Amino acid sequence: MSRTPSEAAQRAAELREQLEYHNHRYYVLDAPEITDAEYDALFRELQALEAAHPELDDPNSPTRRVGGAPAEGFATYRHRLPMMSLDNAMTLEEWREFAARAAKALV
């Protein structure tokens, strides 16, 4: 569906607000209201919208954020092997690409 610039901006703002809300529920309150799949769908919709409308670029967008502030009370831990992320691999091809990157990093 093609959106006008104002419709795209409005939808991007809605998605960012929803994602911020759900991030807080999940990471801070440990009380999610939606499934991971539902969250991922919102996130991917925002990614697609930002890719289709570069004028909506926002350095504070949830799509640009790497992580939040660490919770207090936990000691720092160094992993012996790098922690790898599937980065929400949704297809077999995306999983294969992840597996290839992981294998290369561990050699």
* Domain coverage including residue 11: 1-67
Same domain assignment for residues 36 and 84: no
Give the pLDDT confidence of 43-97 residue by residue, as tens digits.
Answer: 999 999 999 999 998 999 999 887 666 677 778 888 777 777 766 777 889 889 8
pLDDT one-digit tens code per residue, 6-19: 999 999 999 999 99
Is pLDDT above 70 for 24? yes
Shortest CA distance to 22 belongs to which of 10, 34, 13, 12? 34
- DSSP secondary structure letter of residue 93: H
Pair (57, 100) in one structural domain: no
The whole-number pLDDT of residue 103 equals 85
Provide the pLDDT for residue 86.
63
Which CATH number do you get for residue 47?
1.10.287.610
For the chain, count helices (H), then strands (E).
3, 0
* Judgement on whether residues 22 and 63 belong to the same structural domain of the protein: yes
User: In this structure, is residue 73 part of a structural domain?
Assistant: no
Classify residue 72: in a domain, yes or no: no
What's residue 51's pLDDT? 94
- Per-residue pLDDT, 67: 66
Domain count of the fold of the chain: 2
Residue 69's pLDDT is what? 67
pLDDT at 33 over 90: yes
Q: Which has the closest alpha carbon to 22: 9, 44, 38, 8? A: 38
